[in-house]
Amino acid sequence: MVNSGQTNTAQLVAMLNERAAVNVKLALVGNAQRWQLHHGQVTLDDDTSLQEQAWRYSTATFLESRLPGPMVAALLRGEEQDIDGIRVVCPGPPSATASTYRLRGREEWDRVSTPWPRTEWTISRDTNAAHPGYGLLVGDGPSFLNFDHALSAFLHQRPYDPTTNRADLWRITLPQRAGWLSQITIRPDLLTAVIDGEDLHGAELELSWAAGHQIHPVDGAGTYPFPLPHGLAHDSLLMLRRDGQWLDWRSFPPPAYGRARDASVVWERPGPELELLLANGEGQHLECKQEVPEGESRKKMLKTIAAFASQDGGTVLIGVRDDLQIVGLPEEPNVDKQVLQVVGMIRDNVEPVPSYDPRVIDHDGKKVLALEVSGGGQMYAYRNGQRAEFYVRVGPNTVPARHHEIAAGFQRTPTTTTF
């Protein structure tokens, strides 16, 4: 089975028609007489929890309900339907095909991840569809600044992210629970994989890398060990498979800090994680410092932190030389004081203060401070006296942001920032 492609919409209609009921979330725009579908989310699964609810406003309605499969199939075909006492219509003629994605467990796509793999189909919205507008939403439901904020809360229970674009009219999800990797623990000399699933008959678990591979037959849910006499190779791939098809898988690339972590992968000893991070050297998302910097070196580090936060995140490692040799933090002052020193630098010199996680990694008795900076979806400034300076990351270099980059950054900023 391919991981992405196209599916005829008629196949999805047939799939819905075969189901007695499905879980549905509908976001509608319009008025009391006529409501047009803005986004529909369907889960083809009887085990997924459902909260029956309806948020009603003068220009928008959000419904979560369990509906008959044939009713949702008719709506997908473009036929008007009476749902929860209102008339729901679809914008424009139905699309002939849907984009298809097969996703592994814990893979986040469009702000959604699940422990198990899943197949998702999306159908894009007609560009001529009614626009939801940007006015305040006050009514029979929580109040919101505008439709986009309400939609994010309704679908994901998360704050609105201006960098995401909800361009799909339909999103249909089918969980794949035959088998999945619920947790992988990595030690310097051992990898253990915990497998769960509803149908593991005939499955096998494979750990492969460029120089070889190991295979475990799977006789049911449980824990399966893989000795690592030479440590975990940088190009390792762990795959749960059956009959030439994958059920679930994980790879272990250098961690991309500042981005969502895979909660199923546990580095019991962080040394191997640090080695993977350093495998590709300094670059777009990694900067190394031998010790807590002073003078011009301190300014450069703070500018880099502002650049990471203004783009898609990154990590500063303190206790690592430019040649990637791990030397560790100096013994004096103690590690806690050095962490507080760096935290104070960021608080006093980067505006607004970005989201970051200071983490001390113990590697062969040497302590390294990792500053994992999240991308904030807006511009962050290095405060140089009374002047706010903006920077971006270009490969391994931090450079002043150009006017158009600054303007683009502030256009995606959700709230006004005052300097």
**pLDDT (average), residues 363-372:** 88
Report the pLDDT value the prediction gives residue 369, as an integer from 0 to 100.
Answer: 92
Handedness of CA 372, 375, 376, 381 (dihedral sign): positive
- Note the pLDDT of residue 376: 66
Mean pLDDT along residues 274-298 = 86
Burial class (CB in 10 A: 0-12, 13-18, 19+), 332: exposed
3-state SS, residue 52 = coil
Task: For residue 188, give the nearest of 229, 237, 238, 236 by alpha carbon.
Answer: 229
| CA–centroid distance for 311 within its chain | 15
pLDDT tens-place string over residues 405-415: 887 766 555 44
Segment 131-150, tens digit of pLDDT: 787 789 999 999 999 999 99
pLDDT for 267 equals 73
| Model pLDDT for residues 181-206, shown as the tens digit of each residue | 999 998 878 999 999 999 999 999 99
Mean pLDDT computed over 3-32: 92
At 301-329, the pLDDT tens digits run 999 999 999 988 888 999 999 889 999 99
Q: Is this model's pTM higher than 0.85 or not?
A: no
Q: Are 119 and 107 in contact (CB under 8 A)?
A: no
Are 272 and 227 within 8 A, CB to CB?
no
DSSP 8-class letter at 163: T
Class of domain 274-411: alpha beta
The ranges assigned to domains in the chain are: 4-175, 180-252, 274-411
Phi, psi values for residue 348, rounded to 5°: -85, -15
Q: How many CA atoms lie within 13 A of 83 on its CB side?
A: 32
d(CA 24, CA 44): 9
Q: What is the pLDDT of residue 182?
A: 96
The residues with which 100 forms a beta bridge, in sequence order, are 5, 121
pLDDT computed for residue 363 by the predictor: 81
Question: What is the per-residue pLDDT for 266?
Answer: 80
pLDDT digits (tens, 9 = 90+) for 66-95: 999 999 999 999 999 999 889 999 887 888
> Which tokens belong to 220?
């049911």
Going by C-alpha positions, the residue among 141, 10, 28 that lies closest to residue 81 is: 28
- Over residues 11-35, the mean pLDDT reads 91
pLDDT for the residue numbered 259: 47
Task: Give 299-303's long-range contacts (Cβ < 8 A, gap of 24+).
Answer: 299/382, 299/384, 300/398, 301/345, 302/345, 302/346, 302/349, 302/350, 302/382, 303/382, 303/389, 303/391, 303/398
Chain segment 238-272, per-residue pLDDT in tens: 999 999 999 999 998 655 544 446 778 887 655 55
Q: Which of 108, 201, 227 is nearest to 161 (CA)?
A: 108
Determine the pLDDT at residue 219: 92
The one-letter amino acid code at 160 reads Y
The mean predicted confidence, pLDDT, of the chain is 87
> In angstroms, rounded to a whole number, what is the distance separating the alpha carbons of residues 305 and 324?
19
Q: Is the pLDDT of residue 349 over 60?
A: yes
The confidence score (pLDDT) of residue 163 equals 63
Which candidate, 44, 42, 56, 55, places its Cα nearest to that of 19? Answer: 44
| pLDDT surpassing 90 at residue 227 | yes
What is the model's pLDDT at position 256? 52
Interatomic CA distance for residues 259 and 275, integer angstroms: 18
140-166: average pLDDT: 86
pLDDT band at 288 (very low <50, low <70, confident <90, very high): very high
Q: Is the pLDDT of residue 166 over 60?
A: yes
The residue that leads in pLDDT, 17 or 30, is 17
Domain covering 180-252 in this structure, CATH number: 2.60.40
Q: What pLDDT is attached to residue 257?
A: 46
Q: What angle do CA 174, 180, 186 make, to 5 degrees?
A: 140
